């Protein structure tokens, strides 16, 4: 209010002279304009500029201040009213590209600038290149490159660096590298631009190579350099270089802010070094949302579901409010261990905050409900999604397929084909082929497999061959499955051979079973399942010596069977149980509940239940787990 009074007092006072405004008046006006922090005050100054007919360059400075305050309507109104010059065009193009991210409008104004004969300069091209990169307008970007080259502006760091970034965002690292290599001198931004471009496009090796060259030339990295290099280290699994980067941060006293802290956590998470990731996380004094998300995502991506959910609980209690990225990671953990109750809570949380409209959150919810066996909820979320991409469709198709609803999966696949702008990919075909496997649709599966290459121009991968082998195997056609394996253009993997070995066991086919077993034992000598299934195949045909040989070979190689485990949700927490684990909390109470369950089943069905099967919880004097009669199993 005091500042506004000063402006009014100065400019509403009687004009004692009819002469043009004095320099002192203009200088004072410029100072007031510089100090202005609101649009209303700028409007008052604008009024005085008009009253006193203050000439250029004052209107240019006024436009620059309005853009600084991010008032788009005001700046768009003022721009056509001031004399056209390169400064006005430059600040307006800059504002459109940076303040409002209206990249289309920035390029339109650039075209208008040239049409009016106003010559672009080194202040114009960086923001034009930024707009081209953001829109991935490679054609316009190349023409800008030509103009820059003809105008001799490549010697300007800002112009050349913006071209490198533009090409990188368009996925053209070859052109980006050409600009970089042709620079006679390079500053830190030049190196950061090329390293960041390689890192973002998944060219981690090249990013690390450029970082090494940068260090050899004596250039000291800054925060942006290290963040890009850490991302590359994570992609490469290069824990050694990643650790050296952290040492550099500590040695140079660089601030461990959210930007570099999250990069370190992400790198360690991708390298599977979760203890180091947690050390960085715990050492952060200020934990912003990006830090929590990095650590939670690291746990989730490494299959540490318990730790994911535990840290999420801590975040709800003392951290920032979870956002979409948080929910996606936690939903992944819920899907892995079947934590349906927490998944439902997240569904409601997302709905209350409008996150359901986020395509990634919606897809994660579909995946979680499907893996928890609740297809009704999965379908509800899928149908309510305002926008769906290929991943969304693939998730729902696979949900139907892996829950035994083959007809629904194939119907959904047809709906996907009818959608405009969507094309099935290799993941889609894994889903529909899996549906054929579960329903025993051999002919339909073969037709879809053939369509992959003949119509959709997709090259079948090992996973697709595995589905076909599984399809033939379940149909009892193991010889066709074996022939299919032999005709594969790729070497079969353990998943494909494992499916066939299980089929041979069910069909008691010793001929194909032995061939498959030999291959698997060479590929996975430490996998206990291969020995166990092979021994069962021999046992089924009463070849007891071979059966014993497999068990002996397993012991000689030091292979042990991995104990089974299960989870139970109770009072909002997950309890994990391992077969053969005697040190279990609340063992006595669990023992009593299992006894009650056994008694209830015995009374309800009036049968003497077979208690000879294996148990998951081994307690002293505890009755083994109950084996349900076959009529009950058929209805579950």
Q: Which DSSP string do the residues of 164-193 spell out, in sequence order?
A: HHHHHHTT-HHHHHHHHHH-SS--HHHHHH
Query: Do 546 and 583 meet the contact criterion of CB atoms below 8 Å apart?
Result: no
Q: Against a cut of 0.85, is the pTM above it?
A: no
In a domain, 469, yes or no: no
pLDDT of 349 > 70? The answer is yes
Query: Do 186 and 180 meet the contact criterion of CB atoms below 8 Å apart?
Result: yes
> Terminal CA-to-CA distance of the chain, rounded, Å?
75
Q: What is the DSSP string of 221-268?
A: P-HHHHHHHHHHHHHHT-HHHHHHHHHHHHHTT----HHHHHHHHHHH
Amino acid 99: pLDDT: 95
In a domain, 288, yes or no: no
Amino acid 84: pLDDT: 85
In a domain, 634, yes or no: yes
In a domain, 584, yes or no: yes
Q: Which two tokens stand for residue 588?
A: 């006595």
Whether the bond into 57 is cis, omega within 30 of 0: yes
Please state the φ and ψ torsions of residue 86, each to the nearest 5 degrees: -65, -35
What distance in Å separates the CA atoms of residue 513 and residue 537, rounded to the nearest whole number? 7
In a domain, 481, yes or no: no
Give 7's pLDDT tier (boundaries 50, 70, 90): very low
Give 100's pLDDT tier (boundaries 50, 70, 90): very high
Taking only the tens place, the pLDDT of each residue in 158-185 is: 999 999 999 999 999 999 999 999 999 9
Q: What is the 3-state secondary structure (H, E, C) of 194-225?
A: HHHHHHHCCCHHHHHHHHHHHHHCCCCCCHHH
What distance in Å separates the CA atoms of residue 131 and residue 127, rounded to the nearest whole number? 6
Highest-scoring range by mean pLDDT, 27-41, 53-67, 363-377, 554-568: 363-377
Domain limits for position 633 = 579-636
More confident residue, 596 or 224: 224
Q: How many domains does the chain have?
A: 1
In a domain, 609, yes or no: yes
Query: Do 249 and 226 meet the contact criterion of CB atoms below 8 Å apart?
Result: yes
What distance in Å separates the CA atoms of residue 589 and residue 591, rounded to the nearest whole number? 5
In a domain, 625, yes or no: yes
What are the residue ranges of helices labelled H in 488-583? 494-507, 510-523, 528-540, 544-556
What distance in Å separates the CA atoms of residue 240 and residue 249, rounded to the nearest whole number? 15
Rounded mean pLDDT, 533-554: 87
Give 557's pLDDT tier (boundaries 50, 70, 90): confident
In a domain, 606, yes or no: yes
Rounded mean pLDDT, 513-533: 86
């Amino acid at each position: 209010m005091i500042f506004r009074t000063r402006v009014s007092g100065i400019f509403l006072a009687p004009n004692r002279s009819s002469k043009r405004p004095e320099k002192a008046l203009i200088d004072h006006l410029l100072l007031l304009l510089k100090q202005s922090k609101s649009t209303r005050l700028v409007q008052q100054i604008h009024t005085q500029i008009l009253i006193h007919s203050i000439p250029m360059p004052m209107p240019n400075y006024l436009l620059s201040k309005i853009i600084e305050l991010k008032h788009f309507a005001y700046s768009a109104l003022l721009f056509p009213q001031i004399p056209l010059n390169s400064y006005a065009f430059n600040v307006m193009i800059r504002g459109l590209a940076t303040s409002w991210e209206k990249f289309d409008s920035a390029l339109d104004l650039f075209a208008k600038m040239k049409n009016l004969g106003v010559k672009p300069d080194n202040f114009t091209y960086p923001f034009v290149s930024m707009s081209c990169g953001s829109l991935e307008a490679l054609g316009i970007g190349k023409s800008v490159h030509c103009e820059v080259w003809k105008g001799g502006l490549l010697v300007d760091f800002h112009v050349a660096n913006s071209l490198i970034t533009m090409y990188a965002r368009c996925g053209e690292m070859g052109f980006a590298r050409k600009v970089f290599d042709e620079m006679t001198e390079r500053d830190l931004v030049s190196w950061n631009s090329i390293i960041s471009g390689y890192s973002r496009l998944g060219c981690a090796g090249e990013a690390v190579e450029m970082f090494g060259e940068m260090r050899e030339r004596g250039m000291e990295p800054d925060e942006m350099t290290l963040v890009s290099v850490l991302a590359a280290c994570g992609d490469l699994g290069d824990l050694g270089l990643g650790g050296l980067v952290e040492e550099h941060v500590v040695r140079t006293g660089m601030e461990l802010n959210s930007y570099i802290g999250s990069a370190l956590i992400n790198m360690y998470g991708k390298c599977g070094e979760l203890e180091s990731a947690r050390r960085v996380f715990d050492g952060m004094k200020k934990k912003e949302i990006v830090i929590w998300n990095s650590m939670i995502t690291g746990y989730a991506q490494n299959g540490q579901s318990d730790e994911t959910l535990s840290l999420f609980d801590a975040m709800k209690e003392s951290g920032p409010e979870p956002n979409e990225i948080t929910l996606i990671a936690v939903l992944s953990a819920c899907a892995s261990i079947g934590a349906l109750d927490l998944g439902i809570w997240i569904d409601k949380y997302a709905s209350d905050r409008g996150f359901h409209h986020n395509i990634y959150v919606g897809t994660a919810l579909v995946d979680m409900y499907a893996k928890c066996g609740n297809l009704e909820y999965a379908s509800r979320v899928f149908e309510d999604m305002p926008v769906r991409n290929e991943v969304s469709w693939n998730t729902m198709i696979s949900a139907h397929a892996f829950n035994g609803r083959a007809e629904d999966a194939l119907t959904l696949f047809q709906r996907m084909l009818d959608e405009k702008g969507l094309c099935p990919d290799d993941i889609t075909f894994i889903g529909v082929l899996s549906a054929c496997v579960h329903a025993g649709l051999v002919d339909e599966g073969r037709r879809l497999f053939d369509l992959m290459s003949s119509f959709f121009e997709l090259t079948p991968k090992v996973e697709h061959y595995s589905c076909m082998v599984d399809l033939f195997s379940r149909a009892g056609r193991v010889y066709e499955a074996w022939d299919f394996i032999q005709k594969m253009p790729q070497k079969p993997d353990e998943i494909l051979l494992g499916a066939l070995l299980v089929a041979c066991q069910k069909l008691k086919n010793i001929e194909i079973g032995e061939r498959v077993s030999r291959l698997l034992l060479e590929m996975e000598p430490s996998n206990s399942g291969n020995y166990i299934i092979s021994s069962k195949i021999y046992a089924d045909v009463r070849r007891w010596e071979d059966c014993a040989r497999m068990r002996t070979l397993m012991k000689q190689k030091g292979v042990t069977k991995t104990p089974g485990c299960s989870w139970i949700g109770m009072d909002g927490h997950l309890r994990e149980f391992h077969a053969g684990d005697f040190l279990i909390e609340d063992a006595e109470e669990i023992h009593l509940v299992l006894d009650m369950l056994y008694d209830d089943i015995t009374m309800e069905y009036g049968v003497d239940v077979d208690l000879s099967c294996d148990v998951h919880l081994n307690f002293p004097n505890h009755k083994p787990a109950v084996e349900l009669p076959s009529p009950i199993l058929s209805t579950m």
